Amino acid sequence: MTSYVYDFAEGNKDMADLLGGKGANLAEMTRLGLPVPAGFTVTSAACRQYLTTGRAPAELDRQIRLHLTSLERSCGRLLGQAADPLLLSVRSGARHSMPGMMETVLDIGLNDYAVLGLARSAGNERFAWDSYRRLVQMFGNTVMQVDGAVFEDALTRLKEQCQVADDTRLDTAELIRLVETYKDLIREHAGEAFPQDPAEQLRRAILAVFASWNADRARLYRRREHIPDDLGTAVTVQRMVFGNLGPDSGSGVAFTRDPATGRPGVYGDYLPNAQGEDVVSGTRNAVPLQELQRLDPHSYNRLLAHMRQLESHYRDLCDIEFTIERGVLWMLQTRVGKRTSQAAFAIAGQLAQEAVISTEEALERVDGEGLARLMFPRFDTSATSEVLARGTPASPGAAVGAAVFDSAEAVRRSADGEKVVLVRQETTPDDLPGMIAAEAVLTSRGGKTSHAAVVARGMGKVCVCGTGSITVNEAERAFSTAGATIREGTVISVDGSEGTVYRGAVPLVESEVMRSFETGRPHPGKDAAQVVTDVHRLLAQADATRRLEVRANADTPQDAARARRFGAQGIGLCRTEHMFLGDRRPLIETMILAHTDAEREAALAALLPLQRQDFIEILQAMDGFPVTIRLLDPPLHEFLPDRTELAVRAAQREARGQDTDPHDHELLRAVNRMRETNPMLGLRGVRLGLVVPGLVAMQVRAVAEAVVARIRADGDPQPEIMVPLVGAAQELTLVREEVERVWTHVTSAAGITVTCPVGTMIELPRAALTAGRIARNADFFSLGTNDLTQTTWGFSRDDVEAEFFSAYLDKNIFERSPFETIDREGVGRLIELAVAEGRESRPGLTVGVCGEHGGDPDSIHFFHRAGLDYISCSPFRVPVARLEAGRAAQRSSTGPQDG
């Protein structure tokens, strides 16, 4: 029979798929002998069944009853009994942490009788009635679907009647009245009474937590974090302990290292006389954890011992939630903590140096996206800017945007292309869309562990929180400091590394990590120097591990030089079309408009020296490394002026009574003649080379003459010529003949014997399907995954992402855009086929990739496994690609395959 419920003592940390992160780690702490309030976990398998069929498994009720009975036995109390009742918390806990996105119900078991028993056992009537009103409110809202505002309004009215500013001032009698009001509201809005039966409360709360997996905010969070929608959540049911029983009680959050920088030490927040929710919501400002040493040294020392034990057990930064109930410390949660990218590199590096983890594990614990974040710019602190406020630096980075005061406004403005900073007193999970839309989040309340901080860090968003010196007036859409009022729309700058907020747009400077690549020298500065060292150490390890070579897509000497500084081992794609733009465009126009062979040849002859010089400089910048030069790819009309622009010019002249400009007239005729309904499927790529006489010859001559010049200058040029958009072997054969003819002609005239591999892009499904034949005449393949994705899906790459991809993502047709991450099922199969059949007909055929996917971490792991020789990406992504190629090699040699 399937077990849907596990006691904490029955699980362990490796069971997160079934028990969720929270359930698995509570089980682990229980096994380690740490003081964990007893409880059990309902599995995510039960949730999945509930979500797919609308019913919990038939067995579930019985299993919950059995586990509840044993929990009651171990606690020596019955759930909701009239005297000294056992009370339970019911919390969500999925495989991946989704902070605050799903529901929690606390104080399950309280009813009209148990509340009296709780008052007696706690010796505190007010506390008991406050707990009861919280349960009725939470249960009414979460389980019985009564709008939360209904309860909030009732509370506000009561506070007004009693003339108190906050609910801690309501006395017992007033809380008793409030409970009655809440119960009436539930009856009115839900059409049934608040259930008094504790077992029913428990059962319904568990189902409500299951259902909260599909709440809008949870779905949105998963989409952003690329968490699959079908995992479901586990639910942990645990004995309540109370941090709000007086000054000898409290709740806190602790980290075994600083999650912002990775530095070892004791970090965290503590809130005396409060429940854990109060710490996380940031509604009251917590004190630094060190304060607990003074308040309760015994608990503090025990906590530190548990933290040390957990960090050495998990061999990683742990974050911990704890509660002290009347001087007794309870551990409520632990997990391997979220951290900034800087901290990820620092912690992995330190732990490997301390031999706590292996160097392989260190590489596994960092990733390309984190490295990319470390390469972003930060503020230029030498610029004089007015400091508006300082708060807690909760998530590093630099961001500039217009201040906005609610989530909807952030979403609206950012959809219009405006950069915004979301400013709130504190954030709640309902602010998630605004946090995603904003460049940064600024709050006046809450510490490093507040919702705003945790969520922003998880997203890599800039965040400053707990900025007590500002007063946020969300209704007035402004915040004020001692000397200024900042209204909605005012541009501010937020430094999440320093915790500083500036007026206006502060200029940015490049990051130390970026500078270290650009100059080859780490920049001084304590943390900064360390992060540079950590990054380079792990990159060196990735380089030593990877099989994939990393090249860059570059078409200027400057980009080529940068790519080399960033560690590229060649150019995988030099797009020559960029060399035809700017002041050279008239030459291309002349070529297109040519009436005679002689005119066309003259135009091409004028282009030749310019192209040659481009290639000389690029080959020089990449001396000794391969440079893959692609023959002209885009449709020729892209080099002509816009049709409407020409038509308007002609109409204006006509209106002024002037004659048409003959050149414009001719251009317009050419544009009209060459107009295509689907230019991406039209006269472009190899097709151009086959129908425009002299074009291929001019480009090849330019490459060959550049090679001759480089050799004469004692260089080591390694050109490769690549033919785009081939769909049939015969196309490549014809172009290849032309390439070889010109090549031999130029090099033999110069008295130089140098070969130049000629290869092709594989970017059409037909090319992949006939790769065996194509390979007979190709020295290499380069996968053009941009076009291959476009043509495999039939998606116009320039249109669809903006047009309807968000609907496709919503409907789970895919989890990520196939233009960002390779679609393994479709495009991936074509790639595997092309690699296999290409190498079968030509053993040892070199295969690389030069589409955008070459810089995407997830796709890189696929390319490694598909047996590619190299990946090519933009120069700035080269370090990311090196790191991920190393991780991919390591993963496939040591561990289970990734998904």
From the list 67, 306, 451, 861, the catalytic residue is 451
Q: Nearer to ligand PEP by C-beta: 204 or 684?
A: 684
What tokens were used for 87? 């009370």
Active site residue 47: no
Q: Nearer to ligand PEP by C-beta: 172 or 786?
A: 786
**464 contributes a contact to ligand PEP by CB under 6 A:** no
CB of 553 to ligand PEP, least distance (A): 7
By CB under 6 A, name the one of 20, 370, 759, 784 that touches ligand PEP.
Answer: 784
What CA–CA distances, in Å, run from 737 to 734, 741, 744, 745, 777?
5, 6, 11, 12, 10
By CB under 5 A, name the one of 784, 818, 828, 855 that touches Mg ion.
Answer: 784
Q: How far is CA 686 from the centre of its chain?
A: 37
Q: How far is CA 780 from the centre of its chain?
A: 34
CB of 781 to Mg ion, least distance (A): 13
Q: Nearer to ligand PEP by C-beta: 467 or 553?
A: 553
Restricted to residues 315-334, the positions that interact with ligand PEP (CB under 6 A) are none
CB of 724 to Mg ion, least distance (A): 6
Active site residue 850: yes
How many residues touch ligand PEP under the rule CB under 6 A: the total is 10
Contact segment (CB under 6 A) with ligand PEP among 21-29, 156-164, 639-647, 778-786 equals 778-786
Q: Nearer to ligand PEP by C-beta: 333 or 785?
A: 785
Q: Nearer to ligand PEP by C-beta: 785 or 859?
A: 785
Per DSSP, the three-state class of 881 is helix
CB of 626 to ligand PEP, least distance (A): 16
The H or E element containing residue 720 is strand 718-723
CB atoms within 10 A of CB 691: 9
Q: Is the distance from CB of 240 to CB of 87 less than 8 angstroms?
A: yes
Contact segment (CB under 6 A) with ligand PEP among 143-151, 271-279, 462-470, 784-792 equals 784-792
Strand partners, 487: 478
Q: Nearer to ligand PEP by C-beta: 258 or 633?
A: 633
By CB under 6 A, name the one of 130, 512, 589, 763 that touches ligand PEP.
Answer: 763
Give the contact letters, 786-805, x = binds to Mg ion (CB under 5 A), - = no. Answer: -x------------------
Query: CA angle 313-317-321, nearest 5°?
Result: 90
Restricted to residues 270-289, the positions that interact with Mg ion (CB under 5 A) are none
Q: Is the distance from CB of 4 to CB of 60 less than 8 angstroms?
A: yes
Among ligand PEP, Mg ion, none, what does residue 575 contact (CB within 5–8 Å per kind)? ligand PEP
Restricted to residues 665-684, the positions that interact with ligand PEP (CB under 6 A) are none
Alpha-carbon span 756 to 493, nearest angstrom? 52
CB of 610 to ligand PEP, least distance (A): 21
What CA–CA distances, in Å, run from 739 to 275, 460, 701, 719, 773?
75, 48, 9, 13, 19
Contact segment (CB under 6 A) with ligand PEP among 80-88, 359-367, 781-789, 807-815 equals 781-789
What tokens were used for 755? 């070969």
Buried b (16+ CB within 10 A) or exposed e, 567-604: bbbbbbbbbbbebbeeebeebbbbbbbbeeeeebbebb
Q: Nearer to Mg ion by C-beta: 559 or 852?
A: 852
By CB under 6 A, name the one of 409, 614, 633, 884 that touches ligand PEP.
Answer: 633
Local structure of residue 824 (DSSP, 8 states): I
From the list 850, 853, 861, 864, the catalytic residue is 850
CB of 573 to ligand PEP, least distance (A): 6
Instruction: Find where tokens 């961001």 sit.
Output: 399
Among Mg ion, ligand PEP, none, what does residue 573 contact (CB within 5–8 Å per kind)? ligand PEP
What tokens were used for 562? 């940068």
Strand partners, 421: 403, 440
CB-facing half-sphere around the CA of 457: CA atoms within 13 A: 29
**786 contributes a contact to ligand PEP by CB under 6 A:** yes
273 backbone φψ class: left, alpha, beta (φ>0; ψ -120 to 50): left
DSSP 532-594: HHHHHHHHHHHHHH--SEEEEE--SHHHHHHHHHTT--SEEEEEGGGGGSGGGHHHHHHHHH-
**575 contributes a contact to ligand PEP by CB under 6 A:** yes
Give, rounded to a whole angstrom, the gap between the first and last alpha carbons of the chain: 29
Alpha-carbon span 787 to 724, nearest angstrom? 10
CB of 719 to Mg ion, least distance (A): 20
CB of 786 to ligand PEP, least distance (A): 3
Q: Nearer to Mg ion by C-beta: 128 or 722?
A: 722
Alpha-carbon span 148 to 140, nearest angstrom? 8
Restricted to residues 400-419, the positions that interact with Mg ion (CB under 5 A) are none
CB of 363 to ligand PEP, least distance (A): 28
Q: Nearer to Mg ion by C-beta: 107 or 787?
A: 787
Query: Which residue in 814, 815, 817, 782 sits closest to 797, CA to CA?
Result: 817
Among Mg ion, ligand PEP, none, what does residue 851 contact (CB within 5–8 Å per kind)? ligand PEP
Give the contact letters, 823-862, x = binds to ligand PEP (CB under 6 A), - = no. Answer: ---------------------------xx-----------
Q: Is the distance from CB of 269 to CB of 288 less than 8 angstroms?
A: yes
Give the contact letters, 734-773, x = binds to Mg ion (CB under 5 A), - = no. Answer: -----------------------------x----------
Strand partners, 464: 393, 442
Q: Nearer to Mg ion by C-beta: 681 or 833?
A: 681
**559 contributes a contact to ligand PEP by CB under 6 A:** no
Residues annotated catalytic, as ranges = 451, 850
Binding site for ligand PEP (CB under 6 A): 573, 575, 633, 763, 784-787, 850-851
Binding site for Mg ion (CB under 5 A): 763, 784, 787
